[in-house]
């Protein structure tokens, strides 16, 4: 019995040690997102609360917390309440397999990359549930758009992941990072990195692919009927997903926690800081794209996913596999 309690205590400690920084980071990147956006548009952005406006997200969270939660009378109440919970939970449980350095990972499972892929493909349910349960036109349209969009872009993300897995020979995220010790995969697989980045934008409903919540057409899409803390949970879940995609991108292509060159000034920096730098780099790219690219039309979005990204990444799988086979570089031989 004591053993069980010990294990449970240890695991809870590890989970809190991960989740509290992740949630803090989510609050910080919301601020960063707004600052970058403002910077591109020559505005100041949030700079009043705290130093440089760093505490703006905290103030927002407090505001949401004290607002009334309004549940529409004609909504399906259980599913309406479950939707933000599902979004938030799914955005957080995926962090269990992200390795921050060679030793710090909560669950070092064999099928880590499949786990992340499965969890991110479940993410669409929060949006569909919210959109349907609101029992209102705009949320429903937003949910339908989002479902089609996320399913389409998952396909190309899956094929891109296959490219990386061909070079690694393992589904374990730690192995994927360790396989990049000599060469980050962004160099041989650069086109795949670009497609991954754009697909990740679409997968997380970020601009220019934010059609599920296109404010010009759909008010706020699936979030229209939500208020108070429930709206904030959708928001937090969305940003946690974005951060997760940044982490996945840095693990798959940018060598995870590995320093760029394994010499003195670089390997003196702690491993997990390198991962955080890479995630920040990717996130600033995400934020810049939001500021400078206009929104796609829906048919263009679908065409991009199915007719351009999917064939390109499939051809690249063939190229990678043939190259590795011809030069006998296939892992596991």
80 binds another protein (CB under 8 A): no
Select from 23, 38, 85, 148 the one that contacts another protein (CB under 8 A). 148
6 binds another protein (CB under 8 A): no
Select from 19, 58, 71, 109 the one that contacts another protein (CB under 8 A). 109
CB of residue 21 to another protein, shortest distance in Å: 26
Residues binding another protein: number (CB under 8 A) = 29
151 binds another protein (CB under 8 A): yes
29 binds another protein (CB under 8 A): no
Burial 112-121 (b: 16+ CB within 10 A, else e): bbebbbebbb
Closest CA to 312 of 146, 163, 171: 163
Task: State the residue for tokens 């997380």.
Answer: 204
Query: Which part of the chain contacts another protein (CB under 8 A), choosing from 10-18, 43-51, 107-115, 241-249?
Result: 107-115
CB of residue 183 to another protein, shortest distance in Å: 24
CB of residue 181 to another protein, shortest distance in Å: 21
140 binds another protein (CB under 8 A): yes
101 binds another protein (CB under 8 A): no
For another protein, what does the binding mask look like between residues 279 and 308, x meaning CB under 8 A? --------------------xx--x-----
Select from 64, 80, 117, 138 the one that contacts another protein (CB under 8 A). 117
5 HSE (CA, 13 A, CB side): 2
Check the CA dihedral 294-300-305-308 and report its sign: negative
Query: Contacts for 193-197 with beta carbons within 8 Å, 24 or more apart?
Result: 193/249, 193/253, 195/156, 195/160, 195/309, 195/312, 195/313, 196/157, 196/160, 196/249, 196/252, 196/253, 197/249, 197/282, 197/285
* Rounded Cα distance, 141 and 217, in Å: 10
Nearer to another protein, 147 or 167 (CB): 147
Q: Which residues contact 204 (CB under 8 A, 6 or more apart)?
A: 238, 241, 242, 245
Nearer to another protein, 56 or 156 (CB): 156
235 binds another protein (CB under 8 A): no
CB of residue 297 to another protein, shortest distance in Å: 9
Select from 129, 168, 232, 233 the one that contacts another protein (CB under 8 A). 129
330 HSE (CA, 13 A, CB side): 9
H helix and E strand count, the chain:
14, 0
């Amino acid at each position: 019995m004591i053993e069980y309690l010990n294990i449970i205590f240890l695991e809870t400690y590890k989970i809190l040690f991960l989740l509290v920084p992740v949630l803090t980071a989510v609050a910080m990147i919301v601020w960063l997102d707004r600052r970058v956006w403002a910077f591109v548009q020559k505005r100041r952005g949030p700079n009043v609360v705290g130093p440089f406006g760093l505490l703006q997200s905290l103030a927002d969270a407090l505001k949401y917390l004290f607002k009334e939660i309004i549940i529409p009378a004609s909504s399906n109440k259980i599913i309406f309440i479950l939707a933000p919970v599902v979004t938030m939970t799914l955005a957080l449980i995926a962090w269990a397999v992200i390795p921050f350095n060679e030793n710090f990972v909560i669950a070092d499972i064999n099928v880590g990359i499949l786990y992340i892929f499965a969890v991110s493909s479940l993410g669409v349910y929060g949006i569909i549930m919210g959109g349907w349960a609101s029992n209102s036109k705009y949320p429903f349209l937003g949910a339908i758009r989002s479902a089609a969009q996320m399913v389409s872009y998952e396909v190309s993300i899956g094929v891109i992941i296959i490219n990386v897995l061909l070079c690694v020979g393992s589904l374990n995220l730690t192995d994927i990072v360790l396989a990049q010790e000599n060469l980050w995969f962004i160099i041989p697989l650069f086109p795949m990195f670009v497609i991954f980045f754009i697909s990740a934008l679409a997968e997380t409903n970020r601009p220019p692919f934010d059609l599920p919540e296109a404010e010009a057409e759909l008010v706020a899409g699936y979030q229209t009927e939500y208020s108070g803390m429930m709206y904030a949970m959708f928001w937090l879940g969305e940003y946690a997903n974005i951060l997760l995609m940044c982490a996945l991108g840095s693990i798959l292509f940018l060598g995870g926690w590995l320093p760029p060159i394994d010499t003195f000034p670089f390997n003196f920096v702690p491993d997990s800081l390198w991962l955080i730098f890479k995630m920040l780099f990717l996130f600033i790219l995400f934020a810049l794209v939001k500021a400078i690219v206009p929104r796609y039309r829906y048919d263009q979005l679908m065409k991009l996913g199915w007719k351009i990204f999917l064939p390109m990444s499939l051809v690249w799988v063939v190229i990678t596999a043939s190259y590795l086979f011809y030069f006998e570089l296939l892992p596991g031989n």
